[in-house]
Amino acid sequence: MGNLSPLRSSKKAAVACNNCSLSELCLPRGLTQEELNRLEAAIEKTIKITKKDYLYRRDDAHQAIYAVKSGAIKTCLSTSDGEEQILGFYLPGDLIGFDALAHNHHTCDAQALEDTLVCELKMDAFQDLCGSLASLRLGMMRQVGIEIEREHHMLLTLGQMRTEERLATFLIGISERNQARGFSRKEFYLPMARHDLANYLGMAVETLSRMFSRLQEDNIITVRHRLIDILDMDKLKELAHYNCRNT
């Protein structure tokens, strides 16, 4: 595991689920106060991961489920000759660590894209709570379902869409995730480097740059470094075949 720094002095303030703006996203709804207290007690610490350090590495033993509190994490696989494939990006409110459920060890690397805070729920506590709290168990099953749904959409995007359609689909996805968090759906910051995004979308960096430029020229978005401003949501959704995806 990478360079992880527990924030011990501010443990309870940092992980108090009642006061966390992400609780509606990363926690199941309908927990009683007693159940919520049990969940908070099981979260041992908030962990700080410095940019480029790892939350976990491939083949690490499964120790916990993590909720991203701030920052961003990418998951990836590397070949023996050092080539990397980006598998996904995790933003505030996302849960990460489910990849190890099948064989009790992680199947990919999880690396911080920027300084990141995660809440840690140890596996023994996780299993105990899921066994006794039906709402938590159902909530976690829903999170696994969300992971599978994202993978299906990604396979469709890579297999059937042109490059500009892939970028539009990705931007719509980030827009929807931000809206669910109570943030702006039209203006947002992309925490990933352009080469990481190009890798994830299956295109060259130069191609990705051209697609950003084309969307700007068509007055669909503006780009200032990593800050995206969606000017025409309808056109972006049309390019992403949004209506077809949701029928």
Per-residue confidence band for 8, with pLDDT thresholds at 50, 70 and 90: very low
Average pLDDT, the chain: 83
Asked if pLDDT for residue 201 goes beyond 90, the answer is yes
Q: What is the mean pLDDT of residues 190-219?
A: 96
Q: Residue 3: which of 45, 53, 44 has the closest Cα?
A: 53
Tokens of 27: 């926690």
pLDDT of residue 48: 94
pLDDT, greater one: 219 or 122:
219
Q: What is the mean pLDDT of residues 35-64?
A: 87
pLDDT, greater one: 167 or 43:
167
pLDDT, greater one: 235 or 38:
235
pLDDT of residue 156: 73
pLDDT of residue 118: 93
Alpha carbons 221 and 224: distance in angstroms, whole number: 10
Alpha carbons 152 and 135: distance in angstroms, whole number: 26
pLDDT, greater one: 82 or 186:
186
pLDDT digits (tens, 9 = 90+) for 149-189: 777 777 777 777 889 999 999 999 999 988 888 889 999 99
Per-residue confidence band for 35, with pLDDT thresholds at 50, 70 and 90: confident
pLDDT of residue 3: 54
What secondary structure, in 3-state letters, does the chain show? CCCEEECHHHHHHHHCHHHCCCHHHHCCCCCCHHHHHHHHHHEEEEEEECCCCEEECCCCECCEEEEEEECCEEEEEECCCCCEEEEEEECCCCEECHHHCCCCECCCEEEECCCEEEEEEEHHHHHHHHHHCHHHHHHHHHHHHHHHHHHHHHHHHHHHCCHHHHHHHHHHHHHHHHHHCCCCCCEEECCCCHHHHHHHHCCCHHHHHHHHHHHHHCCCEEEECCEEEECCHHHHHHHCCHHHHCC
Asked if pLDDT for residue 122 goes beyond 90, the answer is no
% of the chain surpassing 70 pLDDT: 85
pLDDT of residue 129: 81
**List of domains in the chain:** 4-147 (2.60.120.10), 161-245 (1.10.10.10)
Q: What is the mean pLDDT of residues 52-75?
A: 93
pLDDT digits (tens, 9 = 90+) for 126-151: 888 888 877 777 777 777 777 777 77
Per-residue confidence band for 11, with pLDDT thresholds at 50, 70 and 90: very low
pLDDT of residue 29: 58
pLDDT, greater one: 22 or 247:
22
